[in-house]
Amino acid sequence: MTKTIRVVARVIALPEKVEALKALLLELIEPTRQESGCIKYELLQNQSDPTDFTFVEEWTSNDALEAHLVSTHIKAAEAKLEGLVATKPDIRRYYLLA
């Protein structure tokens, strides 16, 4: 059985750029969900800290995830992050154990 890849990607907005970053991140959802290998792609916003956004993702393989990371819409979004984020996005990959 092939293990799927789970991703938790955290992006922190500058306090005055929350709405601009939210709009940019929301634009990624539909094109990403249509990518080959995408099982789940959800965007969350922290209830107690609105600057804190987290993507929860599931991919069929590392190859599918790598293709996502170099996709046109991801590259375009990365180019717009400067001036919107407080730190570099924290992207972590996981395997489901149980």
pLDDT tens-digit profile, the chain (98 residues): 579 999 999 999 999 999 999 999 999 999 999 999 999 999 999 999 999 999 999 999 999 999 999 999 999 999 999 999 999 999 999 999 98
Taking alpha carbons only, the member of 41, 97, 42 closest to residue 64 is 41
pLDDT of residue 98: 85
| pTM, entire model | 0.93
Say how many C-beta atoms besides its own lie within 10 A of residue 69's C-beta. 12
Lookup: tokens for 44: 């969350």
**What CATH number should be reported for the domain whose range is 5-94?**
3.30.70.100
What phi, psi does 26 have (nearest 5°)? -60, -30
* Measured distance CA(36)–CA(72) in Å, rounded: 14
Q: How far is CA 12 from CA 6, 44, 50, 61, in A?
A: 20, 12, 9, 26
Domain boundaries along the sequence of the chain? 5-94
